[in-house]
Chains A and B, each alone.
Chain A
């Protein structure tokens, strides 16, 4: 799982173009989205980032999200994403 988390961090940095960020600088348990509150902890991603993450999961891991409601739980943090991917990946 740790290996997957490390890979996921690198992929997210690349896909979301998070300039200046390193995998070590990202807490895998921190929230990915902070609801538009810049003072809140986490990466502070937005809805377009969510779309990019959905595309990333489909392209890199063969996972197609069918139920939009699942997204809230899956994209809570990098750790929850990694957990979902490890259980559902097809590639």
Chain B
């Protein structure tokens, strides 16, 4: 069964709920950036949102924007989040410490689970359908997306909202810093081209994708298929790509671009570079983490970027990692991996 990405919305370190990043991106130089937030009052009544942490507000705003103009009943909401509402969790834990585990604040407690995000979106959208949350660090969103594809394949759903939501608190940034997640120096775009030191820079992502079984005028692209792989060898990776292409009925030479999760860390980037050199040496490569930063939900922005390029029929220069043939893209592969263990490959077409 064909699955289409009907619409998408993002709240990240780029201008929120729009595609300004495509034409006039915000250039970042630093180690740690919080999302640029929209005016949430346009989406949630302040009285209703007063108990929500900022991640929940972002999740609702991005979900509502993705659904704007669509009247279809929503059959499923599936969320990928590495850390859940970590800011609220921290507040709850701090209150436990402060008050000696007595008199714990209920609002913080209620929001301290990962699946709070999906349930709050469902409450807001009055969706009583399938609701699931995937928490698998850097591949949380990819797992959520694959679950939705399985539901489509089984015929259980004909529409779904797939979300990625992660925030990066100061405390978590510091913890990750200690284990080398972030560079010691301010990250510049040039470091993505010439990665020399370990680590990346931190960003935040809230993204929502509306998926459906029928194309509409506003459809961004078709999701031909995706695979999750655990520590794949080169051969296994290639077989997986070939199988995706075979199912979609296209040749390898017809792939117009590959989106890769380059993040300026040599150990991360060499995995992409090597496989691209082996299997797609002449193909345009797209990178996106220089715009959106690194984090557990960052991979979602790879799909977002690919879908936007397909819809607009162009790949802007500032996201081209390597130049290939310059044509209107019709087929884009999205390839992400997390610590070279969990890999995901998806094929998007228009």
Contacts and interface: CB of A to CB of B under 8 A. Distances in A.
Interface of A: 15-20, 44, 48, 51-52, 55, 58-59
Contacts of B102: 58-59
A16 B50 contact: yes
Q: Would you list the 8 A-B pairs with minimal beta carbon distance, nearest first?
A: A17-B50, A51-B106, A59-B103, A58-B103, A55-B103, A19-B46, A55-B105, A19-B50
Nearest to A20: B46
A39 B50 CA distance: 19
A20, A48, A52, A55, most chain B CB atoms within 10 A: A55
Contacts of B46: 19-20
A19 B40 CA distance: 13
B170 interface: no
Contacts of A51: 106
Given A16-B50, A17-B50, A20-B46, A48 B103 contact: no
A48 B51 contact: yes
B47 interface: yes
Nearest to A43: B47
15 contacts: A15-B105, A16-B50, A17-B51, A18-B50, A19-B46, A19-B50, A44-B47, A48-B51, A51-B106, A52-B105, A52-B106, A52-B107, A55-B106, A58-B102, A59-B103
B50 A48 contact: no
Interface string B103-122: 11111001000000000000
B217 interface: no
Given A17-B50, A18-B50, A44-B47, A59 B110 contact: no
B99 interface: yes
Given A19-B46, A51-B106, A55-B104, 9 more contacts: A15-B105, A44-B47, A48-B106, A48-B107, A52-B105, A58-B102, A58-B103, A59-B99, A59-B103
Contacts of B110: 48
Interface residue tally on B, bucketed by range: 10 to 19
Interface in B281-329: none
A34 B51 CA distance: 18
Interface in B28-74: 46-47, 50-51
Contacts of B99: 59
Contacts of A44: 47
Highest count of chain B CB atoms <10 Å: which of A15, A48, A58, A59: A59
A18 B51 CA distance: 9
Contacts of B105: 15, 52, 55
A18 B46 CA distance: 8
Contacts of B50: 16-19
A20 B45 CA distance: 12
A19 B41 CA distance: 12
Nearest to B104: A55
A17 B50 CA distance: 6
A88 to B, nearest CB: 15
A55 B99 CA distance: 11
Nearest to B98: A59
Contacts of A58: 102-103
A18 B105 CA distance: 16
Contacts of A55: 103-106
A33 B106 CA distance: 18
Contacts of B103: 55, 58-59
A40 to B, nearest CB: 14
Contacts of A16: 50-51
Contacts of A20: 46
Contacts of A48: 51, 106-107, 110
